[in-house]
Chain A
């Protein structure tokens, strides 16, 4: 298996522009998570999906952020409009359903810089 795939790996954009980050989870995994990592705040959970349905988006910082999962093999995280404070590394992770145990498999991340 290729693992979790994210694209693009790097994104540089200007303030006000729309940014779309993409994720392909590991096949067969029931859960998909979006995280944001910064030096100041560490790794923060933004939203997660179960079987393509958003379950908890309480970590999404504001309405400028939105996430979708149209099918089991694809998810997007969109920021519109982007702001310099959105600059961070965004990770996607997926996890199989295994009772009380949870192991998350992370993608390589997308490094976003908003100028």
Chain B
């Protein structure tokens, strides 16, 4: 089971870069790392996904070290609207390892 560990909550200020780290010590070779964002009263929304090194899109960057036992979601220059819960997942729910969303990291952006 590809279990992940991430901080329960984080605070930051507008304009800052926010990094959320996720630990996944027993990640399998073929596992992808996926991050989702959830706003209140909405379903989770895909942010970024990667397998190794670094991935960047218009929203965020995902840094994955060589051993792949952790990964870091980086949000550049956050705004108040980035206040949300962020989930780190490893693997695929449709395989036997059954990804677990858990409670995620509650990010609170302050003005």
Contacts and interface: CB of A to CB of B under 8 A. Distances in A.
Contacts, number: 64
Say what secondary structure dominates the interface of chain A.
strand
Interface of B: 30-32, 34, 36, 41-46, 49, 51, 87, 91-94, 98-104
A56 B43 contact: no
Interface of A: 4, 31, 33, 35, 42-45, 48, 50, 55-56, 91, 93, 95, 100-109
Given A43-B101, A48-B94, A102 B34 contact: yes
A114 B31 CA distance: 38
B43 A109 contact: yes
A45 B98 contact: yes
Contact of A103 (B31, B49, B51): B49
Given A95-B94, A106-B43, A42 B104 contact: yes
A31 B92 CA distance: 11
Given A48-B94, A102-B34, A102-B92, A108 B49 contact: no
